[in-house]
């Protein structure tokens, strides 16, 4: 934000900077101030925040919302898909976007002959393979100021404040960050997209969401650069398509779901989960190795890529029966790219299925076998606890699994399991859930 203040002043704009600790950082106080000073109109870009927009609309001030470069679709663009559907499917939305915008299309058909190469992007990271090195930006004045401000005003927050700058804070740094991904990590991004390596933070991922979410890069420009680079450098179609899908598919889709169903989603708790999230999920002392190891990385960087968020954290939190409001708060607090529009659909819809299926047909849950298959985590007592929670979840929700054709096999497997093994799973799950305090 200090960088933007500087840029705007250089461009000749008059800027009033409101610090997060100031009275007027609360939008309700700011609105009262504007009304007292006889302002008549608020003009803003679409920040995609339901609470903020609601409060602005409740004022006497006229509100003019401009289309935002933070998204490829305008709100009007979203109507073509979201206004005519009762339930939303990312694949359908993604296909529509590809066709409408003629992205990765050839003679009316998807480039390479397939809409998605997701099934080809699930390789485990080779044991002796070295992940690409990441070159971080040099410390600049904006980072130093932010570090000092954080040390002064947020001393009790979780996480580590690094001496070295991790993420870009200027347009120039963001451009270099994107170029570094394209040159060093894009080639094998696809094939290792779902891989998990315990000691690696980023692997081949772009780590662009923190930059796009604050406007240092725009998704439209990122796609243009990536597609152009792929053509010139023989990037495999599975890497190109997988990257395009993350932005044109998932990012735009999640924003659309938030606009149309965000309020509905945040008020639902389909499984009626009511457990509080314990302190151990902030301190990396849960005793579950994949959780603790991945959380230690988040405490250092404020980041985890999608498969860690979905299949380690959200998966486990759902199996452990944590209240989705608690899970939402945790994701909002722990990640550098967290915004309401990001986390409401991802937590209440995609990962926990708390909305009952507005944007997915099933909850993303698994036993320990999936984690082992995609990662290098060694076996331990965490396997037993994870599997116990998984089978306990299936048992608690028999009716749901019996009615879902895609998931019925899980219930049948549970029913065929030796009774003694079943009882042991349920006992272990009960003891573990009871220990979470």
pLDDT of 357: 95
> Matching CATH topology for 75-259 and 280-435?
no
pLDDT of 360: 93
> Tens digits of per-residue pLDDT, 265-292?
999 999 999 999 999 999 999 999 999 9
Residue range 75-259 in CATH 1.25.40.80: yes
Going by the DSSP 8-state scheme, the letter that residue 322 receives in this structure is B
Q: Which residue shows structure tokens 């992940």?
A: 131
Residue range 280-435 in CATH 1.10.10.60: no
pLDDT of 385: 98
Average pLDDT in the 185-191 region? 98
pLDDT band at 405 (very low <50, low <70, confident <90, very high): confident
Q: Count CA within 13 A, CB hemisphere, residue 302.
A: 17
Given a contact cutoff of 8 angstroms between Cβ atoms, the answer to whether 377 and 286 are in contact is no
Length of the chain: 437
Specify the 3-state DSSP secondary structure of 5: helix
DSSP string, 132-176: PP--PPPP-HHHHHHHHHHHHH-TT-SS---SS--S--SHHHHHH
| Close Cβ partners of 186 (under 8 Å, ≥ 6 residues apart) | 204, 206, 226, 229, 230, 235, 239, 243
* Mean pLDDT for all residues in the chain: 96
Residue ranges per structural domain of the chain:
2-66, 75-259, 280-435
Q: Which residue shows structure tokens 């006889």?
A: 38
Given a contact cutoff of 8 angstroms between Cβ atoms, the answer to whether 137 and 165 are in contact is yes
pLDDT band at 144 (very low <50, low <70, confident <90, very high): very high
pLDDT band at 436 (very low <50, low <70, confident <90, very high): confident
Q: What percent of the chain has pLDDT over 70?
A: 100
pTM, whole model, 2 decimals? 0.96
């Amino acid at each position: 934000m200090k960088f933007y203040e500087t840029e705007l002043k250089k461009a000749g704009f008059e800027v009033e900077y409101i610090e997060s600790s100031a009275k007027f950082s609360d939008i309700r106080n700011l609105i009262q101030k504007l009304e007292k000073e006889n302002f008549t109109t608020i003009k803003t870009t679409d920040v995609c925040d339901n609470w903020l927009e609601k409060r602005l609309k409740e004022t006497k001030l006229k509100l003019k919302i401009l289309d935002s470069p933070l998204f490829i679709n305008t709100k009007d663009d979203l109507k073509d898909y979201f206004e005519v559907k009762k339930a939303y499917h990312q694949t359908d939305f993604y296909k529509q976007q590809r066709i409408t915008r003629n992205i990765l299309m050839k003679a009316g058909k998807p480039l390479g002959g397939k809409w998605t190469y997701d099934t080809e992007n699930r390789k485990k990271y080779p044991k002796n393979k070295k992940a690409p090195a990441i070159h971080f930006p040099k410390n600049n004045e904006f980072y130093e100021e932010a570090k000092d401000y954080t040390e002064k005003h947020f001393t009790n927050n979780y996480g580590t404040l690094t001496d070295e700058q991790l993420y870009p804070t200027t347009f120039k740094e963001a451009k270099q960050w994107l170029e570094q991904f394209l040159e060093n990590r894009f080639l094998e991004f696809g094939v290792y997209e779902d891989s998990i390596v315990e000691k690696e933070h980023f692997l081949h991922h772009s780590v662009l969401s923190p930059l796009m979410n604050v406007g240092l890069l725009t998704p439209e420009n990122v796609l243009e650069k990536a597609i152009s680079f792929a053509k010139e450098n023989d990037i495999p179609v599975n890497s190109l398509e997988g990257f395009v899908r993350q932005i044109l598919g998932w990012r735009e889709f999640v924003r659309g779901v938030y606009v149309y169903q965000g309020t509905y989603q945040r008020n639902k708790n389909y499984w009626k989960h009511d457990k509080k999230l314990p302190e151990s999920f902030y301190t990396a002392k849960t005793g579950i190795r994949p959780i603790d190891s991945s959380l230690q990385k988040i405490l250092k960087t404020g980041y985890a890529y999608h498969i860690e968020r979905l299949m380690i954290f959200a998966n486990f939190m759902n199996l452990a029966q944590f209240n989705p409001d608690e899970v939402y708060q945790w994701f909002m607090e722990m990640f550098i790219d967290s915004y309401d529009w990001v986390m409401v659909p991802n937590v209440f819809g995609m990962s926990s299925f708390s909305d009952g299926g507005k944007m997915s047909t099933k909850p993303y849950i698994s036993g320990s076998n999936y984690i082992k298959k995609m990662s290098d985590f060694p076996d331990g007592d965490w396997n037993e606890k994870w599997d116990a929670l998984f089978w306990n979840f299936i048992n608690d929700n028999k009716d749901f699994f019996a009615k879902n054709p895609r998931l019925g096999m899980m219930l049948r497997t549970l029913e065929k399991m030796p009774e003694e093994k079943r009882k042991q799973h349920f006992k272990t799950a009960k003891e573990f859930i009871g220990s979470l305090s």
